Structure 1
Amino acid sequence: MQPKPTALLRDSRALAVLAVPLILTQLAQVALTTTDTVMMGLLSTTDLAAGGLAVVIFNQLRTMGVGLVTSVGNQIAAASAHAQSTENEPDRDGAKRYAAEEQVRGIVRASLALATLAGVVGSILMLLIGQCLTWLGQEADVVNRAQTMLLALAPGLIPCLWFQAIRQFTVGMRSPQALLQITIASVAVNAGLNWALIHGTWGLPELGLPGIGVATTLVYLLSFLALYLSAKKDPVLAPMLSLNITKADRAVVRRLIGLGVPIAATYGSEAGFFSVTALMVGSFGGAALAAHTAVNQLVYIVFQIAVGLSHAASINVSRELALGRIEVAQRIKNTALACAATVMATVAVLYLTLPHLVLRPFLDPNAAADEKAVHIAAQLLFVIAVLQFFDCAQNIGVGLLRGLDDTRSGFRITLIGYWLVGLPTACLLGYAVRLHTLGIWLGLLTGLATTAVLLLRRYAAGLSTLTSKKEAPVAR
């Protein structure tokens, strides 16, 4: 069922109320990694390749950690929707309101406990993976520099996941506005710390490439503290925000793990797909990896629009289903995809008409050292102009399924799309057909397209099942 133009406009405005702050926050957040990538490129092509490799590993583990706590927003949204649906019922001494607050408070504590555990384990894994890079066909100089970068990044994973847990709490309560202000401020702080720690200004040590990792770790810590203090000042959010993870209810933690592990596996499957292809591209040399890093950052920037739409659609689906409005949940899918397609088409035109301008922040077309990387990256822009449509659609599909509390189907589908279709295609085109980096990205495109189609079909089937149950006659 396609929404009529007036309904589409109305639904788009409703989606935008939550999606726009989230999209702007995501874009501001990606400005952190974009700033890092630009400054890596200013150091040298080798530093860009090494830093890009380290960030790929960090993002792999960060993404999986974020997946573990992503269901928190949906759980809180559903709890608040149930509380809202009983507002007209008698509530002696505020007992129902207190029970709802206590339920949300328990979810927050459990999410922070889960984030702490995931952060510690992820930091250790990050360092261990760094020691194995020499076995994966990467250039020795690139590996050595990547290892120093990982050492600086690893401690930042813990406050990063704390921030994500509090973020899901604010999003679930439909109060994400402070996120944008904090993230914008963190961009400026990150840029200043990057410059100071790379070059040793303001009395700080001159660290070079690892200075970018140290700056990132500090920014994650400061962002968490700022978001926590902001939430504590909010009279609605403050009563439900507790950092005392020792009081976390084990049953709630187990429930979040049950929902979060499939999401983490789904996110990890996608991130792992990109990580493996980065290693494959690295086997073609430093110039290819530098081009891959630059183009991948462009994809990552645009992907944040999909993330914002996905989270907003997911939260809204959870609320509408809790209120029994299945037909609205169907319209949410159509609206999110229509909004995403409009933005993706606009960006694709920019890639195809101004390729050197798009690549200029990362690679210098006039520099002899960057000439080969620029040539490879310019070819890849034609691929990502199409790829980003499917990348956006599959992320929205994952969010929609999360709104159904169906977190397992997404993981199974990504295994098929990424690993059984995308990766073999990348290997075939990259190595057998000898298209090299271009072939790897064509494999990425194929995997994302397959995944998007399967996820959206699964969501439609899930809504059909709910509709059938709703319409089934009640047995007497």
Structure 2
Amino acid sequence: MAIAKTYPEHARAILILGLPLIGSNLAQFAIHMTDSIMLGWYAVEALAAVTLAGALFFVLFIVGSGFAWAVMPMVAQASEMEDDAQIRRTTRMAMWLSLIYGAVMIMPMWFSGQLFLLIGQDPEIAQLAQDYLRIAGWGILPALLVMVLKSYLSALERIGFMLIATIGAAFLNAGLNYALIFGNFGAPEMGIHGAATASVILQIFSFGVLGLYAAFVMPQHALFQRIWRLDMDAFSGVFRLGWPIGLTNLAESGLFSAASVMMGWIGTIELAAHGIALQFAGAMFMVHLGLSQAATVRAGRAMGRKDQTGLKIGAQVIIMMSILFSVFTIIIFLGVPELLISLFLDADDPDRIAILAVGVGLLAVAAVFQLADGVQVLALGLLRGVQDTRQPMVMAAISYWLVGAPCSYVLAFVIGLDGAGVWLGLVIGLGVAAVLLIIRFWSRHISKAVAV
């Protein structure tokens, strides 16, 4: 493939890779959003429970995804060096690590009800959340394998089929939810249990589709041949790069999960509104995440060919793209918040007005942190591309847990800002992370770049 040299060439290369990644992320996010919308139509209690359960599942999943994310820069670099053997070794061992981790994480989800009670959640909501996770938790195994294959395909810039498969999965999920939650198409009415069952079916389907594609379209990598054989060098390499990524993911996702817990302390209405507002903030974050993934691949390839100038120009272009999208998001969140929140609520729900009032205020705060959130995830993507993961992990932990979480608590419960205070704390934590991480990338990896 041609190597980008100018700013427009870099922008074109980033968009060719980034737009399908963004589309795939949005389609994947639509799967989770569909669960929330349909459960919101079903019952407010079900929506609150899946918000709580989803927060725990996501934390456990995103930590395990560190091994999958390690695949992206390692395979990108190996691909640039035309090393098919290293591509195969890296991807296989990432699947090993993902399965080992996922198997261990099923246990805490099975007994999650006690955990939710210990952190002060309503007993009814805690029980419903545990019921959901006792089914949906099994999906973490195929879900992590899907992440590995997506990282593998992204690094090879073979993302067209991945986008189509993810869009297809989103439509399948909507159909499964419509059938299993409400009892349509002759299926039993299962409510929150139906949403969990649909999630597991979907993850297994997605892994099967992507696995078959990888096996038949790229047979030179032979990913699934003799997959039972341990490759200790590759296993160690993926583990060394992946565990700091996983803990970095934990630091950020844990902050948002802590916010969900704090919203639960305030009340069920606030927790439900938080879940809705978080869906929209998360949907917009998928765009920044797609750009971050493109940044990881492009940086990994620049590293493989030792192109310091290309690394610098690419970073400048992709950061500007993220900033421009943040401005667009701010306009949407401040312009039509009632319309957005109402999409998740039944018109006859007696709690509709109360949830709307809380949700509109939360979206206003979410507009504020769009810029910081975009910059921090892009900086992480660039740092992962150059395989710098340990120091960013420390910076993330400081930003989110020594700054963000305490600020959320103080603003919400000491100063008395309630839900808005919880979200303002998120803004502060994300802002500190954005500054620290972008300084780390620029001072350590760009300072020696040739002048352009």
Indicate the TM-score class for this superposition, using the shorter chain for normalisation: over 0.9
TM-score (normalised: structure 2): 0.95
Q: CA deviation at 1:464?
A: 4.2
CA distance in 2, matches of 1:249, 1:302: 39
Closer, same or farther in 2 for the Cα pair 1:129/1:375, shift >3 Å?
same
Closer, same or farther in 2 for the Cα pair 1:117/1:243, shift >3 Å?
farther
| Match of residue 236 from structure 2 | 254
Structure 1 stretch displaced more, 164-173 or 270-279:
164-173
Q: Secondary structure at the match of 1:283?
A: helix
| Match of residue 198 from structure 2 | 215
| Match of residue 359 from structure 1 | 341
CA distance in 2, matches of 1:324, 1:255: 20
What percent identity do the matched residue pairs reach? 31
| Match of residue 14 from structure 1 | 13
CA distance in 1, matches of 2:48, 2:138: 22
Q: CA deviation at 1:313?
A: 0.7
Q: CA deviation at 1:366?
A: 7.0
Q: Is the 8 A contact 1:356 1:365 kept in 2?
A: no
CA distance in 2, matches of 1:412, 1:56: 22
Closer, same or farther in 2 for the Cα pair 1:207/1:364, shift >3 Å?
closer
Q: Secondary structure at the match of 2:266?
A: coil
Following superposition of structure 1 onto structure 2, how do residues 401-416 of structure 1 map, counting pairs within 5 Å?
A: 401-416=383-398
CA distance in 2, matches of 1:204, 1:251: 49
AA aligned opposite 1:141 = E
| Match of residue 75 from structure 1 | 74
Q: CA deviation at 1:364?
A: 5.0
Q: Secondary structure at the match of 1:245?
A: coil
> How large is the RMSD of aligned CA atoms in angstroms?
1.8
| Match of residue 33 from structure 2 | 34
Q: CA deviation at 1:328?
A: 1.5
CA distance in 2, matches of 1:445, 1:244: 47
Q: Equivalent of 2:284, from 274, 283, 302? A: 302
CA distance in 2, matches of 1:130, 1:313: 39
Q: Is the 8 A contact 1:112 1:243 kept in 2?
A: no
Following superposition of structure 1 onto structure 2, how do residues 408-447 of structure 1 map, counting pairs within 5 Å?
A: 408-447=390-429
| Match of residue 108 from structure 2 | 125
Q: CA deviation at 1:467?
A: 4.6
Q: CA deviation at 1:243?
A: 5.6
AA aligned opposite 1:332 = G
Closer, same or farther in 2 for the Cα pair 1:126/1:244, shift >3 Å?
farther
TM-score (normalised: structure 1): 0.91
Q: CA deviation at 1:34?
A: 0.7
Q: Equivalent of 1:186, from 144, 169, 174? A: 169
Q: Is the 8 A contact 1:364 1:374 kept in 2?
A: no
AA aligned opposite 1:223 = S
Q: CA deviation at 1:194?
A: 0.8
Listed as ranges, the gaps of 5+ residues in structure 1 are: 1-5, 84-99, 469-476
| Match of residue 65 from structure 2 | 66
Q: CA deviation at 1:137?
A: 1.1
Kindly indicate whether residue 151 of structure 2 is the aligned counterpart of residue 152 of structure 1: no
Q: Is the 8 A contact 2:73 2:386 kept in 1?
A: no
CA distance in 2, matches of 1:252, 1:465: 31
Q: Rg larger in 1 or in 2? A: 1
CA distance in 1, matches of 2:219, 2:437: 34
Q: How many residues align?
A: 447
Q: Is the 8 A contact 2:40 2:346 kept in 1?
A: no
Moved over 6 A (4+): none
Kindly indicate whether residue 317 of structure 2 is the aligned counterpart of residue 335 of structure 1: yes
Q: Equivalent of 2:182, from 194, 199, 202? A: 199
Question: Deviations for 1:186-211, whole angstroms, at most 9, x for unmatched residues?
Answer: 11111111111113334433211111
Structure 1 stretch displaced more, 306-315 or 343-352:
343-352
CA distance in 2, matches of 1:367, 1:124: 36
Kindly indicate whether residue 237 of structure 2 is the aligned counterpart of residue 276 of structure 1: no
CA distance in 1, matches of 2:242, 2:81: 22
Q: CA deviation at 1:262?
A: 0.1
Kindly indicate whether residue 104 of structure 2 is the aligned counterpart of residue 105 of structure 1: no
Q: Is the 8 A contact 2:403 2:428 kept in 1?
A: yes
Kindly indicate whether residue 431 of structure 2 is the aligned counterpart of residue 449 of structure 1: yes
AA aligned opposite 1:18 = L
Question: Deviations for 1:330-361, whole angstroms, at most 9, x for unmatched residues?
Answer: 12221111111112211211111111111122
Q: CA deviation at 1:466?
A: 5.2
CA distance in 1, matches of 2:184, 2:347: 29
| Match of residue 44 from structure 2 | 45
Question: Deviations for 1:375-426, whole angstroms, at most 9, x for unmatched residues?
Answer: 1111111111111111111111111111121111221111111011111111
| Match of residue 97 from structure 1 | none
| Match of residue 313 from structure 1 | 295
Question: Deviations for 1:168-195, whole angstroms, at most 9, x for unmatched residues?
Answer: 1111111111111101111111111111
Q: Equivalent of 2:150, from 167, 190, 197? A: 167
Q: Secondary structure at the match of 1:247?
A: coil
Question: Deviations for 1:299-337, whole angstroms, at most 9, x for unmatched residues?
Answer: 111111111100111111111122121121112221111
Question: Deviations for 1:58-85, whole angstroms, at most 9, x for unmatched residues?
Answer: 11111111122211111111111122xx
Q: Secondary structure at the match of 1:132?
A: helix
Listed as ranges, the gaps of 5+ residues in structure 2 are: none
Q: Secondary structure at the match of 2:306?
A: coil
Kindly indicate whether residue 266 of structure 2 is the aligned counterpart of residue 267 of structure 1: no
